[in-house]
Amino acid sequence: MKKILLLCLWLSCASLAVAQRKPNYLFIAVDDLNDWVGPLKGHQQAWTPNFDRLARRGVTFVNAHSQGALCNPSRASLLSGLRPSTTGLYTLQPGVRSVPALKDHVMLPQALAAGGYATFSAGKVFHDGSIKPAEREREFNAYGVAPSIPTPPQKFVVTPDAIKLMDWGVYPERDEEQADYQIASSAIAYLNKAPRDKPFFIAAGFRLPHVPCFASQKWFDLYPDDKLVMPPVKANDRDDVPDFAWYLHWKLPEPRLSWLEKANQWRPLVRAYLASISFMDSQVGRLLDALDASGQAENTIIVLWSDHGWHLGEKGITGKNTLWERSTRVPLLFAGPGVKANAVVTRPVELLDLYPTLMELSGLAAPANLEGHSLVPLLRNPKAKRDWPALTTHNINNHGVRSERWRYIRYADGSEELYDMRNDPNEWTNLAKDKRYVSVIKEHARWLPKTNLPAVAGSAQRLLEQVNGVWHWEGKPIRWAELER
């Protein structure tokens, strides 16, 4: 009888220990991926079986948005839990620790490490170059490889900007030569040797479909040119858009749609973007397979996100740097213990919410100054109430507010846009000047950030600022005669 009581006591303690054990995290970042994946239905031909597989295992947030329409501010916001307008970090430079508001701020990986996690990073998690070599140990316990996308000796496409990364085509010959393959391999190697006496946080940052959009031939074969479905584009779509909207992407390496059409490169770019997505998806699959084989899946929460979207002709442009849906909407998926399976959330959510979410899931106290809101209620019940819209900021005092039905944009000069996303998902009709929607605008405008810090010292690359009453793009005054449409 005594042995039975002892066995029951041991089983009870073991069950309690399992219940109290912090979950592991497989934290998968993707670069420049818009909603062209199966679970978000952004492109009817997108072949992403591993995104689909992950969606079946967990919750897909179909109305998730980044806080910055550019890599560095978006990633800094997610990892810090603070908005770009709160920190003044709007551009590709400087690095996060050069920003006064972030110099000593506890970033998400640091908070998890302090809570007992073994933390690891491979690939692009923070923006490239934003963490100085001397600061690396501060951010993660361990690092894997972080290779750049391999490039051919000569560009395939001669774009208006000679930057080497602005390219697309069939390259390299073997998947194993790709940066994302090597990043996945590095994360898998750490997964297989991660400490078993503490939970792990494995961050794997894939580079595709960021330009150059390269993939081997088999991925292009998924999208025959003669059957390629092009994104919907409306002629003169910008006729009802404020002039100031041009300022957010005044002169960029990403070509305009007009150039792509003239150079017969629109279809090749769309095809290459889709091919690079499908290759990247295969690397997500390698991570999922390795996790399942490791015996750790039952106690691992998978989080997959992209830092922002990407235009492929919509509104006459390619690239990001806008406050429209194509630039702000991102894939966000959760799967694992305690997460409802095969569920969809339509409530607007933010990448900013990831920090408080992971802290709550781990039973850890989050820093008091985080600006996001935990997604745990929605992970348990996808229909749970949520009181906040999603906000995106690009350069000082330009904001987009996304609710479940509407997108409201206000630019730094006070000009506005309003779109009914339920009836006009392509954002073709700006309703901001229609008096019938005054109350809708008022309701959304109340969420605009009250704090709008100027760009921090050292801000560079894609900086829009006002100097002596004149708007400047990257240090040069904006002149309409120089606009390339």
Catalytically active residues are 71, 127
Is the separation of the CB atoms in 177 and 279 below 8 Å?
no
Q: What does the DSSP assignment read for 405-417?
A: SEEEEE-TTS-EE
Q: What value does the CA radius of gyration of the chain take, rounded to a whole number of Å?
A: 22
What is d(CA 117, CA 474) in angstroms, rounded to the nearest whole number?
41
Closest of 302, 356, 299 to residue 79, by C-alpha: 356
What is d(CA 310, CA 166) in angstroms, rounded to the nearest whole number?
14
Residues with Cβ within 8 Å of 463's Cβ and at least 6 positions away in sequence, in order, are 90, 91, 395, 455, 472, 473, 474, 475
Is the separation of the CB atoms in 41 and 35 below 8 Å?
yes
Q: 235's torsion region: left (phi>0), alpha (psi -120 to 50) or beta?
A: beta
DSSP percent split of the chain into helix, strand, coil, nearest 5: 35, 20, 45
What is d(CA 167, CA 158) in angstroms, rounded to the nearest whole number?
8
| Secondary structure (3-state) at 91 | coil
Closest of 279, 305, 330 to residue 48, by C-alpha: 279
Q: Which ranges of 21-129 would DSSP assign to H, the alpha helix?
A: 49-57, 71-80, 84-87, 108-114
